[in-house]
Amino acid sequence: MKKFLRTIFLVDLFQGLWVTFRNQNPKYIYTEQYPAERPKVAERYRGAPRLNINPDNGETLCIACNLCALACPETLIVVTSERNEQTRRKELTTFTYDLSRCMFCGLCEDACPVDALELTQDFELATYTREGQIWDRQMLEEGPTPTQYKC
């Protein structure tokens, strides 16, 4: 009998409608207005790579040890270096990073012994050309400059 009455008065449907009604409150809006309102990503976010430079003298921190290139599963990092005859040290000449193949696993930044290569919080990496995805040393040091939209 009770079940019959529940069926007649559509109790189950009103129960569900009550849930949706409770969630109508505007304070439960979770949508982000993305281009105008930029999300704050986590501190450890693995986004665009960056080749750090020493803030004191503007020289690169990279010691051209090639460990990141060896750690990368996709072998998308190419490091070239030449030996400085005066100081007898290896110096970085070029550093290319193919972002189009990168899966942001973070193994390269784990491998870096001097914290030169780092994955940063920049996440807007779209380009108009395929070549634009291949970042050279200058691009890696400066980082991307995405368009900032305002509403």
Partner 1 sequence: MPETTFLDSTELVLNMGPQHPSTHGVLRVILKLDGEKVMGTECVIGYLHRGVEKIGENRTYQQFAPYVDRMDYVAAVSNGLGYCLAVEKLLNIEAPPRAQVTRVILTELNRIASHLLWLGTHALDIGAITPVFYCFREREEVLKIFENYCGARLTTHAFRIGGLQYELYDGFEEQVKAFCDMFLPKVDEYEELLTNNRIWVARLKGVGILTGDECKEFGVTGPVLRAAGVKWDLRKAQPYSGYEQYDFEIPTGENGDTYDRYMVRMQEMRQAVRIIRQAVEKIPSGPIGKTPKVIKPATGEVYVSIEAPKGELGYFVVSDNSTQPYRVRVRPPSFVNLQALDRMVRGGLVADVVAIIGTLDIVLGEVDR
Site residues, partner 1 (CB under 8 A): 7, 11-13, 15-16, 18-20, 23, 30, 41-46, 71-73, 103-107, 110, 119
For residue 136, the one-letter residue type is D
Smallest gap from Cβ 1 to partner 1, in A, equals: 17
Strands across the sheet with 134-135, in order? 77-84, 89-98, 134-135
Nearer to partner 1, 63 or 105 (CB): 105
Backbone angles phi, psi at 56, to 5 degrees: -75, -45
Least spacing, CB of residue 119 vs partner 1, in Å:
7
Nearer to partner 1, 119 or 137 (CB): 119
Contact, 68 vs 112, CB < 8 A? yes
Q: Could you tell me which of 96, 101, 148 has the C-alpha nearest to residue 122?
A: 148
CB contact at 8 A, 114 and 62: yes
Q: Which CB atom, from 3 or from 150, has the smaller least distance to partner 1?
A: 3
Q: What secondary structure letter does DSSP report for 142?
A: H
Least Å distance, CB 39 to partner 1, is 10
Closest distance to partner 1 from the beta carbon of 45 (Å): 5
CB-nearer residue toward partner 1: 97 or 137: 97
| Shortest Å distance, C-beta 88 to partner 1 | 26
- Give 83 or 114: the residue with its C-beta nearer to partner 1: 114
Separation of alpha carbons 47 and 32, rounded Å: 20
Distance of CA 99 to the CA centre of its chain: 11
